[in-house]
C-alpha cells in the first residue's frame, strides 16, 4: 500500500510524495492539523489526499514509514554490535527520540494494536522488540518469557512524557525500571 515503486502513474506518485512531505512538516508543527488543510497546503484537492490515504492513521503511517523501517532494522544491528542489554537500552533511547510527531505515532500504533488487525508497521515493530528480548534472555540479562507486545505497550509511556523532557532523566529512569523488572 505504501509501495513507492508501485504501478502509480507519474503524476499520482508526485502528488503522493508532496502530500507526505507537507504532512510531515505540518503534523510536526501541529499534530492535530486537519486533513483538509494538509491537502490545501500540498496543492491537491481533499479527494486526492483521501484517495492516497483513506484515513488519518494511514497518512501518519505513511509519513513515519521510513523511520519505522529504520527502527526495525536497527534492532538486529544493535544486537550484533553491542552486548544485548546495552542494545536494548540503546533501542529504547532511539524509540524515545525519533521524530516529534510522537503522539500521532503512538495513536497510530495503539490503533493498530487494539484493532487486532496486523497493520503495517506494527508487526515489524513487535518483531524488533522480540529480537532484542530474546538476545537479552540468551545472555541471561532478562528472565525468559517476556512478551514483545507487552513491552511495546509498556514503552508507550515514552510518548506521553511532557514535551520538554524527552530523553531526559525521567524517561531513562523509567526505562531502567522496566529493565530491572525484566531481570
Partner DNA sequence: ACCTGAACACCGTTCAAGT
Contact residues for a copy of itself (CB under 8 A)? 110, 113-114, 116, 147, 150, 153-154, 156-157, 160-163, 170, 173-174, 177-183
Q: Could you give the CA distance from residue 19 to residue 22 in angstroms, rounded to a whole number?
A: 5
- Considering CB under 7 A, how many residues would be counted as binding DNA? 22
DSSP secondary structure of 129-161: HHHHHHHHHHTTSS-TT--HHHHHHHHGGGGGS
Check binding of 26 to DNA (CB under 7 A).
no
**Closest to DNA by CB, 46 or 83:** 46
Interacting partner of 36 out of DNA, a copy of itself, none (Cβ under 5 to 8 A depending on kind): DNA
| 126 sits in which H/E element | helix 122-138
Q: Could you give the CA distance from residue 3 to residue 179 in angstroms, rounded to a whole number?
A: 37
Among 25, 35, 120, 141, binds DNA (CB under 7 A): 35
Q: 82, 104, 67, 92: which is closest to 148 by C-alpha?
A: 92
Residues 1-20 that bind DNA (CB under 7 A): 7-9, 11-12, 15-16
Check binding of 30 to DNA (CB under 7 A).
no
Among 1, 4, 21, 43, binds DNA (CB under 7 A): 43
3-state secondary structure of 105: helix
Q: Could you give the CA distance from residue 86 to residue 102 in angstroms, rounded to a whole number?
A: 23
Q: Which residues bind DNA (CB under 7 A)?
A: 7-9, 11-12, 15-16, 34-37, 43-48, 50-52, 55-56
Amino acid at each position: 500500500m505504501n509501495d513507492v515503486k508501485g504501478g502509480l502513474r507519474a503524476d499520482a506518485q508526485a502528488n503522493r510524495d508532496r502530500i507526505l512531505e507537507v504532512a510531515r512538516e505540518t503534523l510536526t508543527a501541529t499534530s492535530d492539523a486537519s486533513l483538509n488543510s494538509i491537502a490545501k497546503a500540498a496543492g491537491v484537492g481533499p479527494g486526492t489526499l483521501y484517495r492516497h490515504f483513506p484515513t488519518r492513521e494511514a497518512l501518519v503511517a505513511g509519513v513515519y514509514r521510513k523511520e519505522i523501517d529504520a527502527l526495525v532494522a536497527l534492532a538486529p544491528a544493535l544486537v550484533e554490535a553491542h552486548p544485548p542489554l546495552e542494545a536494548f537500552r540503546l533501542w529504547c533511547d532511539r524509540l524515545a527520540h525519533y521524530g516529534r510527531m510522537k503522539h500521532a505515532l503512538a495513536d497510530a500504533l495503539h490503533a493498530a494494536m487494539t484493532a487486532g488487525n496486523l497493520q503495517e508497521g506494527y508487526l515489524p515493530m513487535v518483531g524488533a522488540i522480540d529480537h532484542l528480548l530474546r538476545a537479552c534472555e540468551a545472555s541471561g540479562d532478562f528472565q525468559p518469557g517476556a512478551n514483545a507486545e507487552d513491552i511495546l505497550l509498556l514503552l508507550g509511556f515514552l510518548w506521553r512524557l511532557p514535551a520538554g523532557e524527552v530523553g531526559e532523566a525521567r524517561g531513562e529512569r523509567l526505562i531502567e525500571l522496566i529493565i530491572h523488572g525484566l531481570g
